[in-house]
Structure 1
Amino acid sequence: MDFEASQTAKWCRLQQMSPLDVHDLLKLRQDVFVIEQTSLYQDIDGKDPDALHLLVNDAVSGALVGTVRVTEDAEAGKARIGRVVIAPAARGTGLGRKLMLAGIEKVEEILPEGVIDLSAQAHLESFYRSLGFVTVSAEYLEDGIPHVDMTRRCGAGN
Protein backbone atom coordinates (compact mmCIF):
# COMPACT_ATOMS: atom_id res chain seq x y z
CA MET A 1 0.00 0.00 0.00
CA ASP A 2 1.34 3.39 -0.98
CA PHE A 3 1.11 6.25 1.46
CA GLU A 4 1.78 9.94 0.85
CA ALA A 5 5.37 10.99 0.18
CA SER A 6 5.11 13.00 3.39
CA GLN A 7 4.45 9.82 5.38
CA THR A 8 6.44 6.78 6.42
CA ALA A 9 4.73 3.46 7.09
CA LYS A 10 5.99 0.28 8.71
CA TRP A 11 4.50 -2.99 9.88
CA CYS A 12 5.94 -4.31 13.12
CA ARG A 13 5.28 -6.32 16.22
CA LEU A 14 5.17 -4.55 19.57
CA GLN A 15 8.50 -6.14 20.51
CA GLN A 16 10.12 -4.57 17.44
CA MET A 17 8.98 -1.06 18.30
CA SER A 18 11.12 1.49 20.03
CA PRO A 19 9.90 2.64 23.43
CA LEU A 20 8.90 5.95 21.79
CA ASP A 21 6.87 4.08 19.12
CA VAL A 22 5.00 2.18 21.85
CA HIS A 23 4.37 5.41 23.73
CA ASP A 24 3.08 7.19 20.61
CA LEU A 25 0.86 4.23 19.65
CA LEU A 26 -0.78 4.01 23.06
CA LYS A 27 -1.07 7.79 23.39
CA LEU A 28 -2.79 8.20 20.02
CA ARG A 29 -5.25 5.42 20.81
CA GLN A 30 -5.92 6.91 24.26
CA ASP A 31 -6.32 10.45 22.90
CA VAL A 32 -8.87 9.36 20.30
CA PHE A 33 -10.71 6.38 21.79
CA VAL A 34 -10.74 7.30 25.47
CA ILE A 35 -10.51 11.11 25.60
CA GLU A 36 -12.07 12.33 22.32
CA GLN A 37 -14.76 9.64 22.14
CA THR A 38 -15.23 9.72 25.93
CA SER A 39 -15.23 5.94 26.10
CA LEU A 40 -13.74 4.43 29.22
CA TYR A 41 -12.46 1.03 28.19
CA GLN A 42 -9.37 -1.11 28.57
CA ASP A 43 -7.32 -0.25 25.48
CA ILE A 44 -4.36 -2.30 26.67
CA ASP A 45 -6.16 -5.60 26.27
CA GLY A 46 -3.26 -8.06 26.11
CA LYS A 47 -3.52 -8.51 22.31
CA ASP A 48 -0.89 -5.98 21.26
CA PRO A 49 2.17 -8.23 21.87
CA ASP A 50 0.84 -10.88 19.44
CA ALA A 51 -0.51 -8.43 16.86
CA LEU A 52 0.94 -6.78 13.79
CA HIS A 53 0.77 -2.99 13.91
CA LEU A 54 0.98 -0.58 11.01
CA LEU A 55 2.47 2.71 12.13
CA VAL A 56 2.13 5.70 9.79
CA ASN A 57 4.21 8.70 10.75
CA ASP A 58 4.57 12.20 9.33
CA ALA A 59 7.94 12.12 7.55
CA VAL A 60 8.86 15.64 8.66
CA SER A 61 7.73 15.83 12.29
CA GLY A 62 7.88 12.10 13.02
CA ALA A 63 4.44 12.31 14.65
CA LEU A 64 2.29 9.19 14.52
CA VAL A 65 -0.70 10.09 12.31
CA GLY A 66 -2.41 6.72 12.00
CA THR A 67 -2.29 3.09 12.99
CA VAL A 68 -4.14 -0.17 12.58
CA ARG A 69 -3.81 -3.50 14.41
CA VAL A 70 -4.10 -6.96 12.88
CA THR A 71 -4.51 -10.05 15.03
CA GLU A 72 -4.52 -13.46 13.43
CA ASP A 73 -5.75 -16.92 14.34
CA ALA A 74 -4.13 -19.01 11.59
CA GLU A 75 -5.60 -22.23 12.99
CA ALA A 76 -9.13 -20.87 12.58
CA GLY A 77 -8.28 -19.16 9.27
CA LYS A 78 -9.36 -15.81 10.67
CA ALA A 79 -7.87 -12.42 11.35
CA ARG A 80 -9.25 -9.29 12.97
CA ILE A 81 -8.54 -5.72 11.97
CA GLY A 82 -8.98 -3.26 14.79
CA ARG A 83 -7.74 -0.23 16.65
CA VAL A 84 -7.94 1.81 13.43
CA VAL A 85 -7.13 5.33 14.52
CA ILE A 86 -6.18 8.56 12.79
CA ALA A 87 -4.78 11.66 14.45
CA PRO A 88 -7.13 14.66 14.15
CA ALA A 89 -4.62 16.55 11.97
CA ALA A 90 -4.62 13.71 9.40
CA ARG A 91 -8.38 13.22 9.10
CA GLY A 92 -10.07 13.89 5.78
CA THR A 93 -6.95 12.93 3.83
CA GLY A 94 -7.96 9.41 2.83
CA LEU A 95 -5.64 7.90 5.42
CA GLY A 96 -8.42 5.75 6.91
CA ARG A 97 -9.00 3.99 3.58
CA LYS A 98 -5.26 3.53 3.10
CA LEU A 99 -4.90 2.04 6.59
CA MET A 100 -7.75 -0.38 5.96
CA LEU A 101 -6.48 -1.38 2.51
CA ALA A 102 -3.04 -2.00 4.00
CA GLY A 103 -4.64 -4.10 6.76
CA ILE A 104 -6.61 -6.15 4.24
CA GLU A 105 -3.49 -6.61 2.10
CA LYS A 106 -1.50 -7.79 5.14
CA VAL A 107 -4.18 -10.30 6.17
CA GLU A 108 -4.40 -11.64 2.60
CA GLU A 109 -0.63 -12.08 2.63
CA ILE A 110 -0.79 -14.05 5.89
CA LEU A 111 -4.08 -15.93 5.32
CA PRO A 112 -4.84 -15.95 1.57
CA GLU A 113 -7.92 -18.14 2.08
CA GLY A 114 -8.95 -16.55 5.37
CA VAL A 115 -11.71 -14.37 6.72
CA ILE A 116 -11.29 -10.89 8.15
CA ASP A 117 -13.53 -9.79 11.02
CA LEU A 118 -13.97 -6.38 12.56
CA SER A 119 -16.17 -4.57 15.01
CA ALA A 120 -17.19 -1.33 13.29
CA GLN A 121 -18.54 1.79 14.86
CA ALA A 122 -22.04 1.88 13.39
CA HIS A 123 -21.61 5.32 11.81
CA LEU A 124 -18.71 3.88 9.74
CA GLU A 125 -20.62 0.84 8.47
CA SER A 126 -20.96 2.20 4.90
CA PHE A 127 -17.23 2.98 4.80
CA TYR A 128 -16.39 -0.63 5.67
CA ARG A 129 -18.97 -1.88 3.17
CA SER A 130 -17.13 0.09 0.48
CA LEU A 131 -14.10 -2.08 1.32
CA GLY A 132 -15.99 -5.34 0.81
CA PHE A 133 -17.11 -6.00 4.39
CA VAL A 134 -20.59 -7.39 5.08
CA THR A 135 -22.57 -6.70 8.26
CA VAL A 136 -23.19 -9.91 10.21
CA SER A 137 -24.81 -8.64 13.42
CA ALA A 138 -27.44 -6.30 14.71
CA GLU A 139 -26.25 -3.02 16.17
CA TYR A 140 -24.99 -3.28 19.75
CA LEU A 141 -23.28 -1.05 22.30
CA GLU A 142 -19.57 -1.57 22.88
CA ASP A 143 -18.00 0.74 25.43
CA GLY A 144 -21.02 3.04 25.09
CA ILE A 145 -20.68 3.40 21.29
CA PRO A 146 -23.00 1.70 18.73
CA HIS A 147 -21.13 -1.01 16.78
CA VAL A 148 -21.84 -3.79 14.27
CA ASP A 149 -19.80 -6.89 13.49
CA MET A 150 -18.59 -7.16 9.90
CA THR A 151 -16.67 -9.75 7.91
CA ARG A 152 -14.88 -10.11 4.59
CA ARG A 153 -13.35 -13.08 2.77
CA CYS A 154 -9.73 -12.71 1.68
CA GLY A 155 -9.45 -12.17 -2.04
CA ALA A 156 -12.97 -10.72 -2.18
CA GLY A 157 -11.75 -7.58 -3.93
CA ASN A 158 -13.55 -4.28 -3.94
Structure 2
Amino acid sequence: MEWQVASFSQLDSYTLYAMLQLRVDVFVVEQNCPYPELDNKDLDPQTRHILLKKGDKILAYARVLAPGVSYEHNPALGRICVSQTARRLALGRGLMDKALAVASSCWPDQEIRISAQCYLQRFYESFGFVACSEPYLEDNIPHLEMIRPVVAAQN
Protein backbone atom coordinates (compact mmCIF):
# COMPACT_ATOMS: atom_id res chain seq x y z
CA MET A 1 0.00 0.00 0.00
CA GLU A 2 1.23 3.48 -0.77
CA TRP A 3 0.03 7.00 -0.06
CA GLN A 4 -0.32 9.49 -2.90
CA VAL A 5 -0.90 13.21 -2.48
CA ALA A 6 -1.76 14.97 -5.72
CA SER A 7 -3.45 17.95 -7.26
CA PHE A 8 -6.19 17.28 -9.82
CA SER A 9 -3.82 17.89 -12.74
CA GLN A 10 -1.41 15.29 -11.34
CA LEU A 11 -4.00 12.51 -11.33
CA ASP A 12 -3.82 10.10 -14.25
CA SER A 13 -7.11 9.02 -15.80
CA TYR A 14 -7.13 5.58 -14.12
CA THR A 15 -6.52 7.06 -10.67
CA LEU A 16 -9.18 9.71 -11.26
CA TYR A 17 -11.66 7.03 -12.30
CA ALA A 18 -10.88 4.86 -9.24
CA MET A 19 -11.12 7.91 -6.94
CA LEU A 20 -14.53 8.93 -8.27
CA GLN A 21 -15.73 5.33 -8.24
CA LEU A 22 -14.84 4.98 -4.54
CA ARG A 23 -16.58 8.24 -3.66
CA VAL A 24 -19.74 7.29 -5.58
CA ASP A 25 -19.69 3.76 -4.11
CA VAL A 26 -19.51 5.12 -0.55
CA PHE A 27 -21.48 8.36 -0.61
CA VAL A 28 -24.09 7.70 -3.32
CA VAL A 29 -24.63 3.93 -3.48
CA GLU A 30 -23.79 2.69 0.02
CA GLN A 31 -25.43 5.62 1.80
CA ASN A 32 -28.29 5.68 -0.71
CA CYS A 33 -27.87 9.40 -1.19
CA PRO A 34 -28.12 10.88 -4.67
CA TYR A 35 -26.24 14.17 -4.64
CA PRO A 36 -23.99 16.11 -7.04
CA GLU A 37 -20.64 14.33 -6.51
CA LEU A 38 -18.86 16.50 -9.07
CA ASP A 39 -18.80 19.88 -7.35
CA ASN A 40 -15.82 21.61 -9.03
CA LYS A 41 -13.88 21.66 -5.73
CA ASP A 42 -11.63 18.88 -7.04
CA LEU A 43 -10.48 21.21 -9.80
CA ASP A 44 -9.18 23.98 -7.53
CA PRO A 45 -5.40 24.08 -8.11
CA GLN A 46 -4.78 24.10 -4.35
CA THR A 47 -6.98 21.06 -3.59
CA ARG A 48 -4.93 18.06 -2.54
CA HIS A 49 -6.22 14.54 -3.06
CA ILE A 50 -5.02 12.01 -0.48
CA LEU A 51 -5.19 8.43 -1.73
CA LEU A 52 -4.13 5.15 -0.21
CA LYS A 53 -3.55 2.79 -3.11
CA LYS A 54 -2.98 -0.91 -3.32
CA GLY A 55 -2.11 -1.63 -6.91
CA ASP A 56 -4.76 0.07 -9.02
CA LYS A 57 -7.36 0.09 -6.22
CA ILE A 58 -7.94 3.03 -3.90
CA LEU A 59 -8.60 1.85 -0.36
CA ALA A 60 -8.97 5.25 1.33
CA TYR A 61 -9.44 8.81 0.14
CA ALA A 62 -9.80 12.37 1.43
CA ARG A 63 -9.44 15.79 -0.09
CA VAL A 64 -7.88 18.84 1.48
CA LEU A 65 -9.42 22.13 0.40
CA ALA A 66 -7.87 25.59 0.51
CA PRO A 67 -9.42 28.46 2.45
CA GLY A 68 -12.19 29.98 0.38
CA VAL A 69 -13.22 26.73 -1.33
CA SER A 70 -15.60 25.29 1.29
CA TYR A 71 -15.17 27.79 4.12
CA GLU A 72 -14.25 31.42 3.62
CA HIS A 73 -11.31 31.62 6.03
CA ASN A 74 -10.31 28.03 6.76
CA PRO A 75 -8.91 25.01 4.99
CA ALA A 76 -11.21 22.00 5.06
CA LEU A 77 -11.20 18.24 4.78
CA GLY A 78 -13.86 16.48 2.79
CA ARG A 79 -14.99 13.33 1.02
CA ILE A 80 -13.24 11.29 3.73
CA CYS A 81 -13.89 7.62 2.99
CA VAL A 82 -12.54 4.10 3.20
CA SER A 83 -13.55 1.37 0.79
CA GLN A 84 -16.14 -0.95 2.26
CA THR A 85 -13.83 -3.92 1.66
CA ALA A 86 -10.98 -2.25 3.58
CA ARG A 87 -12.83 -0.94 6.65
CA ARG A 88 -11.58 -3.67 8.97
CA LEU A 89 -7.99 -2.62 8.30
CA ALA A 90 -8.23 0.48 10.54
CA LEU A 91 -7.23 2.80 7.68
CA GLY A 92 -9.42 5.72 8.78
CA ARG A 93 -7.00 6.89 11.48
CA GLY A 94 -4.05 6.82 9.08
CA LEU A 95 -6.09 8.65 6.46
CA MET A 96 -7.00 11.39 8.93
CA ASP A 97 -3.40 11.69 10.14
CA LYS A 98 -2.22 12.09 6.54
CA ALA A 99 -4.96 14.60 5.62
CA LEU A 100 -4.30 16.70 8.72
CA ALA A 101 -0.56 16.67 8.03
CA VAL A 102 -1.14 17.88 4.46
CA ALA A 103 -3.57 20.60 5.57
CA SER A 104 -1.20 21.78 8.31
CA SER A 105 1.72 21.79 5.90
CA CYS A 106 -0.13 23.76 3.21
CA TRP A 107 -1.88 26.16 5.60
CA PRO A 108 0.07 26.26 8.88
CA ASP A 109 -1.38 28.02 11.88
CA GLN A 110 -4.95 27.83 10.57
CA GLU A 111 -7.97 26.09 12.02
CA ILE A 112 -9.29 23.21 9.92
CA ARG A 113 -13.01 22.68 9.33
CA ILE A 114 -15.13 19.71 8.33
CA SER A 115 -18.79 19.02 7.72
CA ALA A 116 -19.01 15.72 9.56
CA GLN A 117 -21.72 13.11 9.54
CA CYS A 118 -23.09 13.15 13.08
CA TYR A 119 -22.46 9.47 13.74
CA LEU A 120 -18.71 10.13 13.27
CA GLN A 121 -18.52 12.99 15.79
CA ARG A 122 -16.53 10.99 18.38
CA PHE A 123 -14.10 9.79 15.70
CA TYR A 124 -13.33 13.37 14.64
CA GLU A 125 -13.16 14.55 18.25
CA SER A 126 -10.33 12.05 18.74
CA PHE A 127 -8.33 14.19 16.27
CA GLY A 128 -9.01 17.41 18.17
CA PHE A 129 -12.11 18.58 16.29
CA VAL A 130 -14.91 20.22 18.26
CA ALA A 131 -18.49 20.75 17.15
CA CYS A 132 -19.25 24.36 16.27
CA SER A 133 -22.81 24.03 14.99
CA GLU A 134 -26.05 22.34 15.79
CA PRO A 135 -26.84 19.25 13.69
CA TYR A 136 -28.23 20.01 10.22
CA LEU A 137 -29.26 17.99 7.21
CA GLU A 138 -26.89 17.84 4.27
CA ASP A 139 -28.21 15.67 1.45
CA ASN A 140 -30.72 14.25 3.98
CA ILE A 141 -27.95 12.98 6.27
CA PRO A 142 -27.44 14.57 9.72
CA HIS A 143 -24.17 16.55 9.79
CA LEU A 144 -22.51 19.07 12.04
CA GLU A 145 -19.77 21.55 11.39
CA MET A 146 -16.60 20.85 13.33
CA ILE A 147 -13.40 22.82 13.72
CA ARG A 148 -9.92 21.75 14.75
CA PRO A 149 -8.14 24.56 16.57
CA VAL A 150 -4.56 25.31 15.66
CA VAL A 151 -2.28 22.77 17.32
CA ALA A 152 0.72 24.48 18.94
CA ALA A 153 4.11 23.16 17.89
CA GLN A 154 5.77 20.94 20.50
CA ASN A 155 9.22 22.09 21.66
Taking structure 1 as the reference length, the TM-score comes to 0.89
The number of equivalent residue pairs is 148
AA aligned to 1:35 is V
Q: Does 1:44 align with 2:71?
A: no
User: How far, CA to CA, are the matches of 1:156 and 1:97 in structure 2?
Assistant: 21
Structure 1 residues 27-66: aligned runs within 5 Å: 27-50=21-44, 51-58=47-54, 61-66=55-60
RMSD: 1.5
Structure 1 spans left out of the alignment, 5+ residues: 1-6
AA aligned to 1:99 is L
User: How far, CA to CA, are the matches of 2:105 and 2:12 in structure 1?
Assistant: 25
CA contact (8 A) 2:15 2:56 kept: no
> What is the Cα deviation at residue 118 of structure 1?
0.1
State the SS of the aligned residue for 1:85.
Answer: strand
User: How far, CA to CA, are the matches of 2:10 and 2:35 in structure 1?
Assistant: 26
Per-residue CA deviation, residues 120-143 of structure 1 (Å, 9 max, x unaligned), is: 000000000011000001111110
AA aligned to 1:15 is S
> What is the Cα deviation at residue 77 of structure 1?
5.1
Taking structure 2 as the reference length, the TM-score comes to 0.90
User: How far, CA to CA, are the matches of 2:87 and 2:146 in structure 1?
Assistant: 23
Query: Once superposed, which parts of structure 1, at least 4 consecutive aligned residues long, lie more than 4 Å away?
Result: none
Counterpart selection for 2:15 from 18, 21, 27: 21
Q: Does 1:12 align with 2:31?
A: no
Per-residue CA deviation, residues 106-128 of structure 1 (Å, 9 max, x unaligned), is: 11111211010000000000000
Structure 2 spans left out of the alignment, 5+ residues: none
CA contact (8 A) 1:119 1:149 kept: yes
AA aligned to 1:17 is L
User: How far, CA to CA, are the matches of 2:118 and 2:148 in structure 1?
Assistant: 17
AA aligned to 1:147 is H
User: How far, CA to CA, are the matches of 1:156 and 1:145 in structure 2?
Assistant: 33
